[in-house]
Amino acid sequence: MQTQVQKESIENAIEQAKLFGILKYLPDGELTHAPFSLSPYSISTSDLQEMIELTPYFSELMINVSQDWGFLDETLSPISKTDPFLKMLLDLREHEVSQSRQLLVQRNDFFLIKDDIGKGGHDSSSSGEDTSASALRQVEINTVSASFPFLITQLTRLHQHIFEQIIPNNPLKPVVDSFAKAIKDYGSTDAIMLLVSQPAESNRFDQLGLEQLLWDEYKIQTVRKTLTEIYENGSLSEGHLILAGKKVAITYYRAGYTPEDFSTSCAIKGRQLIEASSTIQVPDLAMQLAGMKKIQQVLTRPEILSNFVSEEISKRFRKTFVGMHSLDEIIETPEGEISASEWASINPEKYVLKPQREGGGNNYFGKDIPKKITEMKREEQDAYILMEKIKAKTHQAILVVNGKVEKHTSVSEIGRFGICFAENGVVQSNEDVGYLVRTKAKNVNEGGVCSGFACLNSLAKA
Ligand code: ADP
Ligand code: MG
């Protein structure tokens, strides 16, 4: 049972969360605090260091892949035959006016697993706390709409009030600085940032925090519009995208990564208008495509990865990769050589089935995998990939969800934010700028904070 002190300190934390703007909308429009954890996730210095060091290399990988349209087209075109969303994205290329400047704001997500090779440590399973040696496993890299720079910066501040040993974290400032730099480089004084939003956005406050700091620090205005509104209100003038009478120097996508964002022809035309202008898109079309799950799967093949990174970096990347397969790929199994789809259908608990989608809630887990595979037409299979399920280390966590406290044996997904500027594909500056931690009950498959699956968390020194 909770003691009076615990109850008061939890209530206090909830009020502080609201004060700090750690907020989200519920589906009925009610405002509440975003779910957060009161159990910072411990990480060893070596795991943390490796993640931080890898960030710029992963950003560079995405830039390099984005420069290779032939590779993107060859890998993704077969999928576009059965996936109208991907076809629409690939077709946008016809409208694109290429820009010499690129800005990537990405987040690379990992779990920590128990290191089988073992560097010592022990599993004190009685406490549910797994303190054995660990290793990184990549979940995915988000090249579009890498969310939470504001909310997580605020959550880290909140945790620093309550706990010792919190690892400092402020991705908000560098993300905003990068926007300001890109706007300055664009060369027009009085230019604005366009934030492309979804019509109903539950994670509004994460965006507002960015807009607010961009104004406070740089007096740069943000105009926030849906793709449809951009079509209706936007225009082109001498190559510039004009909205609200101002030049749009950068277009920052917090939408445009799901088919629902393109459900009307006006929305598609809105994106085409952006493509046809000289605004710097964060990310541009090719960078968005480089972050597709199919690309991630193909890049697990060393001979392909080596086209984009050095052998040394390829080795370091591959240590963090789990097996990923196309469904028709023949793989070696204890039962002999069979197709990945057959093997995953017999062992669904070992895999995650993923379509070419972002934003949470699209993947298939467990029993739903064989069911989905059987339902699919042969040609649809190309649009999915199979990824080995990562068995993340567990820890006990107190989670606060919409005012209620729960205690769960949990897993934590750590994302590293990376910012990379490039000029015609040549990297100009490239850095790791902080982290996101999302903690969720062990038996929950998906990971979204605003969809209510996961709780914001911070890192603590182990
Ligand atoms: P999305 O683009 O929808 O965010 P992700 O690949 O990040 O797709 O998957 C969503 C969530 O599903 C992740 O945040 C993670 O919690 C879970 N997940 C994805 N891949 C794996 C995996 N290989 N093993 C375990 N969990 C996974
Ligand atoms: Mg994800």
Q: Rounded to the nearest whole angstrom, what is the distance from the C-alpha of residue 206 to the centroid of ligand 1?
A: 21
Indicate which ligand has the atom closest to the C-alpha of 387.
Answer: 1
Q: Which residues does a 6 A CB cutoff place in the pocket of ligand 1?
A: 109, 139-140, 322, 352, 354, 358-360, 362-363, 387, 389-390, 413, 445-447
Please list the alpha-helical segments (H only) found in 350-431. 368-375
| Alpha carbons within 13 A on the beta-carbon side of 428 | 14
Q: How far is the CA of 261 from the centre of ligand 1 (A)?
A: 21
What DSSP element (H or E) covers 114?
strand 101-114
Task: Give the pLDDT confidence score for residue 58 in this predicted structure.
Answer: 98
Number of domains in the chain: 1
Q: Are 112 and 43 in contact (CB under 8 A)?
A: yes
Q: Which residue in 133, 40, 32, 86 sits closest to 295, CA to CA?
A: 86
Q: Cα of 119 to ligand 1 centre, how many Å?
A: 27
* pTM recorded for the entire structure: 0.95
Residue 128 has what pLDDT?
55
CA pair distance 223, 438, nearest whole angstrom:
29
Q: Report how far ligand 2's centroid is from the alpha carbon of 447 (Å).
A: 7
Q: Which atom of ligand 1 is nearest to the CA of 351?
A: 23
Atom of ligand 1 nearest to the CA of 444: 16
Closest residue by CA, ligand 1 atom 4: 360
Atom of ligand 1 nearest to the CA of 453: 16
Separation of CA 141 and ligand 2 centre (Å): 7
Query: DSSP state, 131?
Result: -
- Can you give the pLDDT at residue 4? 74
Ligand 2 center from residue 55 Cα (angstroms): 16
From first to last of its 462 residues, the chain has per-residue pLDDT tens of 467 768 889 999 999 999 999 999 998 999 999 999 999 999 999 999 999 999 999 999 999 999 999 999 999 999 999 999 999 999 999 999 989 999 999 999 999 999 876 554 444 444 556 667 899 999 999 999 999 999 999 999 999 999 999 999 999 999 999 999 999 999 988 999 999 999 989 899 999 999 999 999 999 999 999 999 999 999 999 999 999 999 999 999 999 999 999 999 999 999 999 999 999 999 999 999 999 999 999 999 999 999 999 999 999 999 999 999 999 999 999 999 999 999 999 999 999 999 999 998 999 999 999 999 999 999 999 999 999 999 999 999 999 999 999 999 999 999 999 999 999 999 999 999 999 999 999 999 877 787 778 999 999 999
Output the pLDDT for position 8. Answer: 86
Domain carrying residue 309 = 4-461
Report CA dihedral (262, 264, 266, 272) to the nearest 10 degrees: 30
Tokens representing 409 are 């044996």
Rounded (5°) CA angle 74-76-77: 70
**Sign of the C-alpha dihedral computed for residues 426, 108, 340 and 447 taken in this order:** negative
| pLDDT value of residue 124 | 44
Q: Which of 446, 450, 455, 457 to mutate to test the pocket of ligand 1 (most atoms within 8 A of CB)?
A: 446
Could you tell me the distance, in angstroms and rounded to a whole number, from the CA of residue 361 to the centre of ligand 2? Answer: 9
Instruction: Give the residue whose CA is nearest to atom 7 of ligand 1.
Output: 140
Tokens standing for 220? 């740069």
Compute how many other C-beta atoms are within 10 angstroms of the C-beta atom of residue 232. Answer: 12
Give me ligand 2 centre to Cα 127, in Å. Answer: 29
Report the pLDDT value the prediction gives residue 7, as an integer from 0 to 100. Answer: 83
> Alpha carbon 352 to chain centroid distance?
17
The CA-CA-CA angle for residues 228, 229, 232, to 5°, reads 90
CA 325 to chain CA centroid, Å, is 21
Out of 139, 386, 412, 455, mutate this one to test ligand 1's pocket (max ligand atoms within 8 Å of CB): namely 139
What pLDDT score does 122 carry? 45
Quote the pLDDT of residue 129.
61
CA pair distance 364, 442, nearest whole angstrom:
16
Mutate to test the pocket of ligand 1, among 110, 352, 438 (most ligand atoms within 8 A of CB): 352
Given this model, what pLDDT does residue 130 score? 63
- Residue 131: predicted pLDDT: 63
User: Whole-angstrom Cα distance, residue 415 to residue 167?
Assistant: 14
Distances (CA, A) of 259 to 15, 19, 69, 268: 36, 35, 22, 10
